[in-house]
Chains A and B, each alone.
Chain A
Amino acid sequence: MSVTIAGVTFRNPVMTASGTFGSGMEYAEFIDLSQLGAVVTKGVSNIPWPGNPTPRVAEVTAGMLNAIGLQNPGIDVFIERDLAFLKEIDTKVIVNVCGKSVEDYLEVVRRLQEEPVDMLEINVSCPNVKEGAIAFGQNPDALYDITEKIKRVAAQPVIMKLTPNVTDITQMARAAEDAGADAISLINTITGAKIDIEKRQFVLANRTGGMSGPAIKPVAVRMVWQAAQAVSIPVIGMGGIATAEDAIEFMMAGASAVAVGAMNFHNPYATVEIARGMEDWCARHGVERVADLTGIVAG
C-alpha cells in the first residue's frame, strides 16, 4: 500500500487535509495516527494569527463553508508543542505553511530546516485571508517566483498546494513544476457563500468562505486529472473524499496520494477506514501496488 513521493515513502496513500486535523493530537484519541500515510498539519505562519471573526463555519448541501482565516499559534509554539508531539508518532509529517508575504513564508521554511519534518506543503491557495495566500496561487508568475524562492531555502521536498479558484489549473501546475516544486496538491477549497434569507445577511462573518466536502468532489477529480496531465511531478489529490472508492477515483485521475478533509468532522475514523478500504479494494481487484492505479484513466 506504500507510495513514494519525491523520495519520501508513505505507509499508504491516505493523508489528512491541512486544517481539518490540527496536528493530530485531538484525533489521536479516536485513531492510531501511525496507520496514516501522513499527518498534514494546520497552516502555520511566522507569528500567531488570530483568524477571522465568527461565524466561521456553515453547512451547505453535502459540504461546508469555512472562513477560519488561518488562526494558528505561529512557528515557535508549533515547533515546541506540535512537532514535539508528532516526533513521537510513527508517521510521516507534512507541515503546511502560510504567510502574507514571500518573506513570511521563507521565515517559516527556514525555521523548519532542522526540524523532524518530511515534507512542506505551501498554502498559496487559502481564500479566507486578505493578504498573501491565494494571491500567490492565482497568478502563474507570482506562483513561479514564490516556489523558486522557497525551493532555495527548503531543506525538505516542497509541495505547492493549488487553488481551484483559477481559470486554468494546468497553467498553475506548470508554473509550480517549472519553478522546481517536488509535488503539487489540490484542491484547496472553492470560494462560496451562503445567505440566511430570514436575517437577510451572509451566514459567515467573512461573507465568503471556502467550500469543501463531498459536494466538491467532481470538480476536484476534474482538476486533479487536468493537473496530472500537465505535469510530471506527483500530484496529491483531495476535495470531498468520503470513501475508499472516492480515494481510488482520485488515484485513477492521476493522484499519487490523497488527503481527507471535511469528512473527518463527519467521521473521525474516516482516514483509517479509507486506508483500510483502499487495501481491500485493491485486494478484491487484483491490484498489487496501489501506486499502479495512479493515472490509469489518463488517456
Chain B
Amino acid sequence: MKKKTTMTVADSRRIAQEIWSLELAYAPGEAPDQVRPGQFAGIYPAAADLLLMRPISICRWDPARSVLRFVYRAAGRGTTTLTGLKAGDRVDMLGILGNGYDLDALAGRRVLLLGGGIGIPPMLELAASLSACKNENKNTQVTAILGYRDGDLFLKEEMEAFADVLVATEDGSAGTKGNVLDVVREKGIEADVICACGPLPMLRAVRRYAAENGIRAFLSLEERMACGVGVCLGCVTGTTKVDEHSRVHNARVCVEGPVFDAEDVAL
C-alpha cells in the first residue's frame, strides 16, 4: 500500500563528490510488506516553498531494520536540502512507488546490469535480489558494469558482494575509458538479459544494442513528476503499444514504470 509517512534518518553521509547516501527508517509497524528492486520513493525536501517530492530509487532495502537506503546526487535545491540531514531528523516520504523489476524474468539467466552515474544506485538492490535468487536457481549469473565520469567511484565495493563488477570512466581514470557499452564490446560480455539505468543517451544506446543482438532489455526511465502515483499524467514516456491508462501511446513512468521492456518504449 502506498502512503506518505514520516521517516527517521538513520544515516546520512557523503560517499563521493556531490553524491550522498541516505538511510531512512520506518516507524514501527509502518514498513511495507514488499519492496522490489527498481522501485522508488518520493522524498519531500524540508523547505516550505518546495511542494513536490523528489523521486529517488531504492538503493537498498533492509527488511530486518525497516531501513531504506538511497544514494542521490545533490542536483538542485531539493536534493541539496537533503544533504543537511543528520541521524534522528525526520523526513516525509511517499512510497513505495513504481513497478520495479520482475525477478522471475531474470532468475536463472545471465543478467547484465548497466548503471550509468546516478543510475547505479537501483542496480545495487537489483544485484542483491538476484544474488539471493542464486540460492534457488544456480544458473543465475550477475555481471554489473558501472559507468562514472571519473575515478571518483561510488557503490562499487558494495556491488562486488553481489556481482562481477567492471568499470568504465569517461576520462579513463579507472577501468575502461568510455561508457558501459564500450566495456561490453571490449570484454566481449555476453548476456541473456540486460537491465539498465542511466542517462537517456545511454539508455537509447542500450536499447539499440539489445535490439541488434537479440537480447531482452529492461530500462529504468526518469521523467519529471508531480504526483508520483499516476493521477497528474506529468511523467509520461512514449510507448510503442497503446498504454493501459489513457489508451494513447504515453505510459506513466511513476506507475507503469520506471522499469520498461526496451521494446515497449519509444525513446
Contacts and interface: CB of A to CB of B under 8 A. Distances in A.
Interface of A: 19-22, 26-27, 29-30, 42, 48-51, 54-59, 61-64, 66, 68, 71-74, 77, 213-214, 262-269
A48 B230 contact: no
Nearest to A61: B49
Contacts of A61: 49
Interface in B230-256: 230-237, 245-250, 255
The 9 closest A-B pairs by CB, nearest first: A57-B234, A22-B231, A50-B248, A73-B247, A55-B224, A57-B226, A62-B49, A265-B227, A56-B234
A266 B44 CA distance: 8
B3 A30 contact: yes
Q: Which interface residue of B4, B44, B236, B237 has the most chain A CB atoms within 10 A?
A: B236
Contacts of A30: 2-4
A264 B94 CA distance: 12
A268 B94 contact: yes
A54 B1 contact: no
A68 B223 CA distance: 13
A22 B224 CA distance: 18
A64 B226 contact: yes
Nearest to B52: A59
A42 B234 CA distance: 13
Contacts of A57: 52, 224-226, 232, 234-235
B161 interface: no
A58 B76 CA distance: 13
Interface of B: 1-4, 44, 48-53, 78, 94, 223-237, 245-250, 255
Nearest to B92: A267
Contacts of B234: 54, 56-57, 66, 68
A71 B51 contact: no
25 contacts: A19-B232, A19-B233, A20-B232, A22-B230, A22-B231, A29-B2, A30-B4, A49-B246, A49-B248, A50-B250, A51-B236, A54-B234, A54-B236, A56-B224, A56-B234, A58-B224, A66-B232, A68-B233, A71-B236, A71-B246, A263-B51, A265-B51, A265-B226, A265-B232, A268-B229
Nearest to A58: B224
Contact of B247 (A48, A58, A214): A48
Contacts of B237: 54
Given A54-B237, A57-B226, A68 B4 contact: no
B224 A20 contact: no
Contacts of A71: 233, 236, 246, 248, 250
A62 B51 contact: yes
A20 B230 CA distance: 10
Q: Which interface residue of A58, A71, A213, A214 has the most chain B CB atoms within 10 A?
A: A71
A50 B51 contact: no
B77 to A, nearest CB: 9
A26 B231 contact: yes
Nearest to A205: B224
B4 A267 contact: yes
B220 to A, nearest CB: 16
A51 to B, nearest CB: 6
A61 B78 CA distance: 12
Contacts of B245: 73
B51 A54 contact: no
B94 A51 contact: no
Nearest to B231: A22
Contacts of A62: 48-49, 51
A159 B246 CA distance: 25
Contacts of A269: 4
B104 to A, nearest CB: 25
A263 B247 CA distance: 27
Contact of A51 (B50, B53, B233): B233
A72 B245 CA distance: 8
A27 B232 contact: no
A81 to B, nearest CB: 9
A123 B228 CA distance: 24
A63 B233 contact: no
Given A26-B230, A68-B234, A59 B4 contact: no
Contacts of B247: 48, 73-74, 77
B250 A51 contact: yes
A51 B248 contact: yes
Nearest to B229: A26
A54 B223 CA distance: 8
B223 A55 contact: yes
Given A50-B248, A66-B226, A72-B246, A265 B233 contact: no
B246 A68 contact: no
